[in-house]
């Protein structure tokens, strides 16, 4: 075991695998989650359970992987929690707004706690395998201190600047592009199917020629086969990330016209009961618009 303890908050689909990767690398990990089942599973693998967030922030370093701004704000940005913390570094690996990233950095600094952002690329199986791509930004010395943790959880760490919000900017931009790719494949598949071409054949062509790679092969197959469960990344989270991109664009006066189209498509999918499906289920909207059978 290493000589320091890592506190880990947020054991959802991604966090569960990330904490497990830290354990396998020999780190002492103290875990907390709002629901007890993932905690019990990790304790069986050697983790230490935390009874409270205060116990988590008594660790040397805290890693968090929560769903959204609301969860981070409510659970981790409590001034009383930070004032009593013994931790000297918080690594926030969630996809959050730029405004929250800036507020979190300022609030941690007020309490003498280092803060870096390190959102990730990868779905739950990739997290469980310790093969994430980690997008990191913050003070260089703090990032160097976090590097052994990144090495345990990911295959590569990409650095994007000395302000934590720069990592969040990058992740929001990436997820915006992913949403655009899913929507464009959905529309292309609807066009093909409406004219007698099987969507699976179209995706085979695209991934074998113009668009090789995991995005078009993975999401393309889901769209063509209309296979949206189990969800690796739930549709409401996709809507959240599109909203983050639109908000960031508004602040920086960067028009994102596709963003408005995506937001309405995600809302349409939610209105039709697809909230528990993978965000690739936004493709069902293109099918409905084209009058194709469900």
The residues carrying an active-site annotation are 171
Q: In what order do the strands lie in the sheet with 120-121?
A: 120-121, 132-136, 154-159
Over its C-alpha atoms, the chain yields an Rg (Å, rounded) of 20
207 vs 159: CA distance, rounded Å: 29
Tokens 């695209």 -> residue: 206
> Quick one: CA dihedral 268, 13, 224, 216, positive or negative?
positive
80 vs 83: CA distance, rounded Å: 5
| Burial class of residue 112 in the structure, from the number of CB atoms within 10 Å of its CB (0-12 exposed, 13-18 middle, 19+ buried) | exposed
The values of phi and psi at residue 6, to 5°, are: -105, 125
Torsion of CA 220, 224, 227, 228, to 10 degrees: 60
241 vs 244: CA distance, rounded Å: 5
């Amino acid at each position: 075991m290493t000589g320091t303890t890592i506190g880990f908050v947020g054991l959802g689909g991604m966090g569960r695998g990330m904490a497990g990767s830290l354990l396998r690398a020999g780190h002492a990990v103290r875990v907390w989650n709002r629901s007890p089942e993932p905690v019990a599973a990790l304790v069986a693998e050697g983790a230490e359970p935390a009874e409270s967030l205060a116990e988590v922030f008594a660790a040397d370093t805290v890693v968090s992987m929560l769903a959204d701004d609301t969860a981070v704000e409510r659970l981790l940005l409590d001034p009383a929690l930070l004032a009593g913390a013994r931790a000297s570094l918080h690594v926030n690996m969630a996809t959050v707004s730029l405004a929250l990233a800036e507020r979190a950095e300022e609030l941690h600094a007020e309490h003498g706690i280092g803060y870096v952002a390190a959102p990730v690329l990868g779905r739950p199986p990739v997290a469980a395998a310790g093969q994430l791509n980690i997008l990191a930004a913050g003070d260089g010395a703090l990032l160097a201190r976090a590097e052994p943790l990144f090495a345990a959880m990911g295959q590569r760490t990409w650095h994007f600047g000395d302000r934590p919000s720069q990592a969040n900017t990058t992740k929001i931009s990436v997820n915006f592009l992913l949403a655009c790719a899913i929507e464009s494949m959905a529309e292309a598949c609807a066009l093909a199917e409406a004219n007698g071409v099987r969507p699976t054949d179209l995706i085979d062509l695209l991934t074998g020629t113009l668009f090789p790679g995991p995005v078009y092969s993975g999401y393309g197959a889901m769209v063509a086969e209309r296979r949206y469960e189990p969800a690796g990344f739930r549709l409401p989270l996709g809507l959240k990330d599109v909203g983050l991109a639109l908000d960031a664009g508004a602040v920086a006066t960067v028009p994102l016209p596709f963003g408005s189209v995506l937001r309405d498509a995600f809302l349409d999918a939610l209105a039709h009961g697809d909230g528990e499906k993978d965000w690739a289920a936004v493709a069902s909207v293109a099918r409905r618009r084209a009058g194709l059978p469900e």
